[in-house]
Structure 1
Amino acid sequence: MKIKFPENFLWGAATSGPQSEGSKDKPHLNVMDKWFQLHPEDFHNQVGPEITCNSYEKYPEDIELMQRINLNSFRTSIQWSRLIDDLETGTVNQKALKYYRDYFSRLKKANIKLMVNLYHFDMPWELQEVGGFANKHVVDLFALYAKRCFESFGDLVDMWSTMNEPIVPVEAQYLYKWWYPYISDYKLAAQVGYNTILAHAKAVKEFKILFANDSKKEITVVLNLTPSYSKDDKPENIKAAKLSDEFFNKSMLEAAVNGRFNQEFIDVLKADNVLPEFNKSELDIIANNRIDFLAVNYYQPRRIQGREKPYSGENMPDKHFENFDWAEKRINPHRGWEIHPETIYNIAMDIKNNYNNIKWFISENGMGVEGEEKFKNQDGVIQDDYRIDFIKEHLYWLHKAIQEGSNCFGYQMWTFIDCWSWANSFKNRYGFVSLDLKTQARTIKKSGTWISNCIINNEFEIEENLVNKN
Structure 2
Amino acid sequence: MAATEPRDEFVFPDVFNDPDRDAFLYGTFPEGFIWSSATASYQIEGAWDEDGKGLCNWDVFSHAKGNVKNGDTGDVACDSYHKYKEDVALMKAMGLKYYRFSISWPRVLPDGTLNNVNEAGIAYYNNLIDELHRNDITPMVTLFHWDTPQTLEDQGGWDNVDIIDRFNDYAEICFQRFGDRVPLWITFNEPWIVSVKGYGLGEFAPGIKEIGTKVYRVSHNIIKAHAKAWHTYDDKYRKVQCGKVGITLNGDFFEPFDRTKKAHVYAAETFLQFCFGWFAHPIFVNGDYPEVMKTKIASKSKSQGLESSRLPEFSEAEKAYVKGTSDFFGLNAYTTQYATDSQDASSHPPSYWNDADVKTWQDDKWPKAGSIWLSVVPWGLRRLLNWVHDQYHVPIYITENGVSTSDVYELDDQPRQKFYRAYINEVLKAIKLDGVDVRGYTAWSLLDNFEWASGYSERFGLHYVDFNDPARPRTAKKSARLYSQIVKDNGFVKK
Question: Structure 2-normalised TM-score?
Answer: 0.87
Q: Which region of structure 1 is more displaced relative to structure 2, 256-265 or 360-369?
A: 256-265
Tell me what 2:39 maps to: 15
For 2:385 and 2:128, how far apart are their aligned partners in 1?
33
Q: Which letter does structure 1 place at the counterpart of 2:213?
A: K
Tell me what 1:43 maps to: 68
SS in 2 for 1:372: coil
Q: Report whether the alignment pairs 1:389 with 2:418.
A: yes
Deviation string, structure 1 residues 168-225 (Cα, Å, up to 9, x no partner): 1111022223223231241221111111111111111111122242473101111113
For 2:86 and 2:58, how far apart are their aligned partners in 1?
26
Tell me what 1:441 maps to: 473
SS in 1 for 2:84: helix
Tell me what 1:77 maps to: 102
SS in 2 for 1:276: coil
Q: Report whether the alignment pairs 1:338 with 2:338.
A: no
Deviation string, structure 1 residues 423-442 (Cα, Å, up to 9, x no partner): 11111111111101122001
Deviation string, structure 1 residues 38-60 (Cα, Å, up to 9, x no partner): 23x32122110100111100001
Q: Which letter does structure 1 place at the counterpart of 2:414?
A: D
For 1:79 and 1:85, how far apart are their aligned partners in 2?
9
Given that 1:118 and 1:161 are in contact with CA atoms closer than 8 Å, whether structure 2 keeps it comes out as: yes
For 2:390 and 2:227, how far apart are their aligned partners in 1?
24
Tell me what 2:312 maps to: 276
Tell me what 1:248 maps to: 275
Q: Which letter does structure 2 place at the counterpart of 1:35?
A: F
Given that 1:3 and 1:459 are in contact with CA atoms closer than 8 Å, whether structure 2 keeps it comes out as: yes
Compared with structure 1, are the counterparts of its residues 335 and 183 closer, same or farther at alpha carbon in structure 2 (3 Å cutoff)?
Answer: closer
SS in 2 for 1:296: strand
Q: Which region of structure 1 is more displaced relative to structure 2, 256-265 or 153-162?
A: 256-265
For 2:345 and 2:281, how far apart are their aligned partners in 1?
30
Q: Which letter does structure 1 place at the counterpart of 2:310?
A: V
For 2:149 and 2:32, how far apart are their aligned partners in 1?
37
SS in 1 for 2:452: coil
For 2:110 and 2:70, how far apart are their aligned partners in 1?
32
Tell me what 1:467 maps to: none
Q: Report whether the alignment pairs 1:459 with 2:483.
A: no
Compared with structure 1, are the counterparts of its residues 212 and 13 closer, same or farther at alpha carbon in structure 2 (3 Å cutoff)?
Answer: closer
Q: Report whether the alignment pairs 1:400 with 2:400.
A: no
Q: CA deviation at 1:371?
A: 2.8
Tell me what 1:219 maps to: 245
Compared with structure 1, are the counterparts of its residues 253 and 154 closer, same or farther at alpha carbon in structure 2 (3 Å cutoff)?
Answer: same
For 2:207 and 2:363, how far apart are their aligned partners in 1?
35
Compared with structure 1, are the counterparts of its residues 235 and 402 closer, same or farther at alpha carbon in structure 2 (3 Å cutoff)?
Answer: closer
Choose which of 122, 130, 138 in structure 1 pairs with 2:147. Answer: 122
For 1:327 and 1:65, how far apart are their aligned partners in 2?
36
Given that 2:407 and 2:456 are in contact with CA atoms closer than 8 Å, whether structure 1 keeps it comes out as: no
Q: Which letter does structure 2 place at the counterpart of 1:321?
A: D
Choose which of 357, 379, 385 in structure 2 pairs with 1:348. Answer: 385
How many percent of aligned residue pairs carry the same amino acid?
Answer: 26
For 2:264 and 2:491, how far apart are their aligned partners in 1?
40
Q: CA deviation at 1:26?
A: 4.5
Q: CA deviation at 1:2?
A: 3.3
Q: Which region of structure 1 is more displaced relative to structure 2, 443-452 or 315-324?
A: 315-324
Tell me what 1:468 maps to: none
Q: CA deviation at 1:7?
A: 1.6
SS in 2 for 1:116: strand
Q: Which letter does structure 1 place at the counterpart of 2:282?
A: A
Compared with structure 1, are the counterparts of its residues 149 and 458 closer, same or farther at alpha carbon in structure 2 (3 Å cutoff)?
Answer: same
Tell me what 1:361 maps to: 397
Tell me what 1:466 maps to: none
Given that 1:227 and 1:249 are in contact with CA atoms closer than 8 Å, whether structure 2 keeps it comes out as: no
Choose which of 326, 335, 338 in structure 2 pairs with 1:300. Answer: 335
Q: CA deviation at 1:462?
A: 7.5
Alignment of 1:122-161 (within 5 A): 122-161=147-186
For 1:346 and 1:384, how far apart are their aligned partners in 2?
26
SS in 1 for 2:225: helix
Structure 1: which 5+ runs fail to align? 376-381, 464-470
Tell me what 1:63 maps to: 88
Tell me what 2:352 maps to: 317
Q: Report whether the alignment pairs 1:27 with 2:43.
A: no
Given that 1:306 and 1:322 are in contact with CA atoms closer than 8 Å, whether structure 2 keeps it comes out as: yes
Q: CA deviation at 1:327?
A: 4.1
Q: CA RMSD in A?
A: 2.0
SS in 1 for 2:180: coil
Q: Which region of structure 1 is more displaced relative to structure 2, 154-163 or 301-310?
A: 301-310
For 1:457 and 1:221, how far apart are their aligned partners in 2?
29
Q: CA deviation at 1:385?
A: 2.0
Choose which of 110, 115, 119 in structure 1 pairs with 2:135. Answer: 110
Given that 1:259 and 1:290 are in contact with CA atoms closer than 8 Å, whether structure 2 keeps it comes out as: no
Compared with structure 1, are the counterparts of its residues 144 and 259 closer, same or farther at alpha carbon in structure 2 (3 Å cutoff)?
Answer: farther
For 1:327 and 1:86, how far apart are their aligned partners in 2?
45
Q: CA deviation at 1:150?
A: 0.4
Compared with structure 1, are the counterparts of its residues 77 and 87 closer, same or farther at alpha carbon in structure 2 (3 Å cutoff)?
Answer: same
SS in 1 for 2:310: coil
Given that 1:160 and 1:220 are in contact with CA atoms closer than 8 Å, whether structure 2 keeps it comes out as: yes
Q: Report whether the alignment pairs 1:201 with 2:201.
A: no
Compared with structure 1, are the counterparts of its residues 21 and 332 closer, same or farther at alpha carbon in structure 2 (3 Å cutoff)?
Answer: same
SS in 2 for 1:342: helix
Tell me what 1:162 maps to: 187
Given that 2:420 and 2:483 are in contact with CA atoms closer than 8 Å, whether structure 1 keeps it comes out as: no
For 2:345 and 2:81, how far apart are their aligned partners in 1?
52
Q: CA deviation at 1:126?
A: 1.2
Compared with structure 1, are the counterparts of its residues 250 and 329 closer, same or farther at alpha carbon in structure 2 (3 Å cutoff)?
Answer: farther
Compared with structure 1, are the counterparts of its residues 53 and 426 closer, same or farther at alpha carbon in structure 2 (3 Å cutoff)?
Answer: same
Question: Structure 1-normalised TM-score?
Answer: 0.91
For 1:353 and 1:245, how far apart are their aligned partners in 2?
13
SS in 2 for 1:71: coil
Deviation string, structure 1 residues 261-317 (Cα, Å, up to 9, x no partner): 222322223222303254343333212x51111111100123222224362641113
SS in 1 for 2:454: coil
Tell me what 1:416 maps to: 446
Q: Which letter does structure 1 place at the counterpart of 2:390?
A: N
Given that 2:362 and 2:375 are in contact with CA atoms closer than 8 Å, whether structure 1 keeps it comes out as: no
Q: Report whether the alignment pairs 1:229 with 2:255.
A: yes
Q: Which letter does structure 2 place at the counterpart of 1:418?
A: D
For 2:465 and 2:362, how far apart are their aligned partners in 1?
35
Q: Which letter does structure 2 place at the counterpart of 1:348?
A: L
For 1:148 and 1:405, how far apart are their aligned partners in 2?
38
Q: CA deviation at 1:228?
A: 1.9
Tell me what 1:98 maps to: 123
SS in 1 for 2:144: coil
Given that 2:336 and 2:362 are in contact with CA atoms closer than 8 Å, whether structure 1 keeps it comes out as: no
Q: Report whether the alignment pairs 1:257 with 2:284.
A: yes
SS in 1 for 2:213: helix
Q: CA deviation at 1:137?
A: 0.5
